[in-house]
Amino acid sequence: MQLTEKQKRNLELQAIEVRQSIIDMLEDAGSGHTAGSLDMADIFTALYFHVAKHDPKNPEWPERDRIILSNGHIVPVRYATMAHAGYFPIQELKTLRTFGSRLQGHPERTHLPGLETTSGPLGSGLSQAAGMAYAAKMDKRNHHIFCLMSDGEMQAGNIWEAAMFAHAHALDNLIGIVDRNYIQINGRTEDVMPIEPFAEKWESFGWRVIEINGHRMDAIVEACEAAKAHTGSPVVIIAHTIPGKGVPEIEFDHEWHGKAPSQEQQDRWLKDLRTLKGKMSASHYE
């Protein structure tokens, strides 16, 4: 079902709040991955606030949709979205990457309810998601498994082992979402190790491919709904995103893959986001 204008606006405002939290927590931590966390804020917001079946008060609810984050380094966006969705107090985001925190530098399932798995080393999340999808089919459960991946990790062979497996077993309850932001630590993906022709790779592995602008709420929701409705094969959503999205001065810059903002940058970026949010809210009430 299409988003109403009001739903779309609310999700967009929510995504801005998630971005604000990401900037805050990364500055507090003094390290972490900024670009990918920011560029996935829209998709995480759409998943947690509209698309996925889940219950923050009951993270182990058996019928929940599973959200697997394969590229664990962008976990700030997941923590921020989960906190805003009610899994834990927003205040706790300040503990990111600190000793004794439930918010480990890379996500650890045993530390925080609702994470589903432990990840960070790239390339193995899709296999885990496929295992969950396979088990769900064995048990005739009808939830979906969303697996979020980076484009850089498409260079890992394990991804394609999983892609082959999911196709072989027609895991149509499995939905991959690739953050196609064209950057990785060493530079642009196509310079480091090209992954193009990318959509064709997935198609040739037997997956249904949907390509979207990963910052358009209606497109994200529509693609996820189409993926859930699709039967007979797994689906991958290739989400074209802008690394650092929401902070114009760092957008597209691969140097921001793995570093955190300074306090001065934090102040400036948050001010810009507040202004943007103000404009959006104002236009909402026009």
Partner 1 sequence: MLNPQLYLHTDTLQGGDMPRKPSRDGFGKGLVELGKRDDRVVALCADLAESTRMLEFKTIFPDRYVELGVAEQNLAAVASGMAAAGKIPFIASYASFSPGRNNEQIRTTIALNHMPVKIIGSHAGLSVGPDGATHQALEDVGLMRMLPHMTVVQPCDAEQARLATEALLDVDGPAYVRLSRAAFPVFTTAETPFEIGKAQEMYVTENPQAGIIATGALVHTALLAAHSLRAEGIEVSVMNIHTIKPLDIPAVVALAKRAGALITCEEHQVAGGLGSLIAETVAAHHPVPMEYIGVHDQFGQSGEPDELMKHYGLDVSDIVRAVKKVIERK
> 130 or 212, CB closer to partner 1?
130
CB 268, min distance to partner 1, A? 37
Close Cβ partners of 251 (under 8 Å, ≥ 6 residues apart): 242, 243, 244, 245
The reply on whether position 220 binds partner 1 by CB under 8 A is no
d(CA 194, CA 189): 6
Least CB distance to partner 1 at residue 154 (A): 15
Closest separation between CB of residue 261 and partner 1, Å?
Answer: 28
The DSSP 8-state label assigned to residue 50 in this structure reads I
- Residue closer to partner 1 by CB (options 168, 193) is 168
Q: How far apart are CA 139 and CA 122, in angstroms?
A: 28
Q: Can you name the residues that pair with 66 across neighbouring β-strands?
A: 145
Tell me phi and psi for residue 280, to 5 degrees: -65, -40
- CA–CA distance, 227 with 225 (Å, rounded to integer): 5
Torsion of CA 106, 42, 4, 221, to 10 degrees: -70
CB of 173 to partner 1, least distance (A): 11
List CB contacts of 119: < 8 A, sequence separation 6 or more: 68, 69, 70, 71, 72, 106, 107, 125, 128
Q: Which of 3, 6, 49, 34 is nearest to 246 (CA)?
A: 34
Q: From the CB of 102, what's the least distance to partner 1, in Å? A: 15
Question: Binding segment for partner 1 among 41-49, 162-170, 180-188, 248-256 (CB under 8 A)?
Answer: 162-170
Tell which positions 106-145 bind partner 1, by CB under 8 A: 108-110, 116-121, 123-125, 127-136, 138-139
Of residues 68 and 242, the one with the C-beta less far from partner 1: 68
Provide, rounded to whole angstroms, the least separation between the CB of residue 121 and partner 1: 5
Cβ-based nearer residue to partner 1, 92 or 161? 161
Choice between 157 and 232, CB closer to partner 1: 157
CA-nearest of 170, 149, 165 to 69 is 149
x/- mask, partner 1, residues 19-58, rule CB under 8 A, reads ----------------------------------------
Q: How far apart are CA 64 and CA 85, in angstroms?
A: 15
To which residue do tokens 């927590």 refer? 25
In the bound state with partner 1, the residue whose beta carbon lies nearer, of 10 and 118, is 118
From candidates 28, 55, 92, 161, binder to partner 1 by CB under 8 A: 161
Backbone φ and ψ for 152, nearest 5 degrees, come out as -60, -35
State the minimum distance, in angstroms, from the CB of residue 232 to partner 1: 20
Which residues form the interface with partner 1 (CB under 8 A)? 108-110, 116-121, 123-125, 127-136, 138-139, 157-158, 161-162, 164-165
